[in-house]
A and B are shown apart, each in its own frame.
Chain A
Amino acid sequence: MKIKLSKSDIDGALVTQISKVSGEDFKQCYQCGNCSGGCPVSYAMDIPPSQIIRFLQLGRFELVMEANSMWVCVGCLQCYSRCPKGVSAANILEAARQLSLRKGTDHERIEDLPVSFLKTAPQQAIVCGFRKFVS
Chain B
Amino acid sequence: MLKIPYYPGCTLSTVAKEFDTSAKDSAIKMGFEIEDLPQWNCCGATFPLTPDNIMGLTAPAKVLAGAEKAGDTLTTLCSVCYNVLKRTNRVLKDDKEKLSTVNEFMEEEYAGGVEVTHYLEVLRDQIGFTKVTEAVSRPLKGVKTAAYYGCMLLRPFEDMGIDRAEAPTIMEDLLKALGATPVFFPDRVECCGAHLAMDKPDIVSKLSGNVIDSAAREGAEIIVTSCPLCQYNLENTQAESGSALPIVYFTQILGLALGQDEKTLGFEKNKFSPLALLRYKELL
In the complex, is A directly touching B at CB under 8 Å?
yes
How many Å lie between the Cα of A25 and that of B18 in the bound state? 44
Flag whether B162 is at the interface (Cβ < 8 A): no
Please give me the residue from chain A that is nearest to B78 by CB atom.
Answer: A124
Q: A77-B151, A80-B156, A81-B155 are in contact. Are A91 and B49 (CB under 8 A)?
A: yes
Which of chain B's residues 32-78 have a Cβ closer than 8 Å to chain A? 42, 44-46, 48-53, 56, 78
How many Å lie between the Cα of A40 and that of B193 in the bound state? 8
Count of residues in A whose CB is under 8 Å from the partner chain: 37
Partner-contacting stretch, out of B116-124, B197-205, B273-281: B197-205
Question: Is the Cβ of B49 less than 8 Å from the Cβ of A76?
Answer: no
Flag whether B229 is at the interface (Cβ < 8 A): yes
Among B11, B16, B81, the most chain A Cβ lie within 10 Å of the Cβ of B11
Please give me the residue from chain B that is nearest to A43 by CB atom.
Answer: B206
Question: Is the Cβ of A76 less than 8 Å from the Cβ of B198?
Answer: no
Flag whether B190 is at the interface (Cβ < 8 A): yes
Q: Contact residue range for chain B?
A: 35 or more
Contacts of A90 in B (CB 8 A): 49
Q: A41-B203, A128-B46, A131-B44 are in contact. Are A76 and B194 (CB under 8 A)?
A: yes
Interface of A is mostly: helix
Interface of B is mostly: loop
User: Which of these, A20, A94, A121, contacts B49 with CB under 8 Å?
Assistant: A94
Separation in Å of the A37 CB from the closest CB of chain B?
A: 13
Please give me the residue from chain A that is nearest to B56 by CB atom.
Answer: A131
Question: Is the Cβ of B195 less than 8 Å from the Cβ of A129?
Answer: yes
Flag whether A60 is at the interface (Cβ < 8 A): no
Q: A122-B229, A127-B46, A131-B45 are in contact. Are A44 and B203 (CB under 8 A)?
A: yes
Contacts of A41 in B (CB 8 A): 191, 196, 203, 207
Flag whether A10 is at the interface (Cβ < 8 A): no
Contacts of A80 in B (CB 8 A): 155-156
How many Å lie between the Cα of A121 and that of B81 in the bound state? 16
Q: A77-B156, A131-B45 are in contact. Are A123 and B195 (CB under 8 A)?
A: no
Contacts of A72 in B (CB 8 A): 196, 200, 203
User: Which of these, A22, A76, A126, A131, contacts B155 with CB under 8 Å?
Assistant: A76
User: Which of these, A21, A77, A120, contacts B15 with CB under 8 Å?
Assistant: A120
Which of chain A's residues 26-61 have a Cβ closer than 8 Å to chain B? 40-41, 44
18 A–B pairs (Cβ distance < 8 Å), ordered by A: A22-B51, A23-B52, A40-B207, A44-B200, A44-B203, A77-B155, A77-B156, A78-B155, A81-B155, A81-B156, A94-B49, A122-B15, A122-B16, A124-B80, A124-B81, A127-B46, A128-B45, A128-B46
12 further interface pairs, Cβ-Cβ under 8 Å (given A41-B191, A41-B203): A40-B193, A41-B196, A44-B203, A74-B195, A78-B190, A121-B15, A122-B232, A125-B195, A128-B194, A129-B197, A132-B195, A133-B198
Contacts from B to A (Cβ < 8 Å): 9-11, 14-16, 42, 44-46, 48-53, 56, 78, 80-81, 151, 155-157, 165-166, 190-191, 193-200, 203, 207, 228-229, 231-232
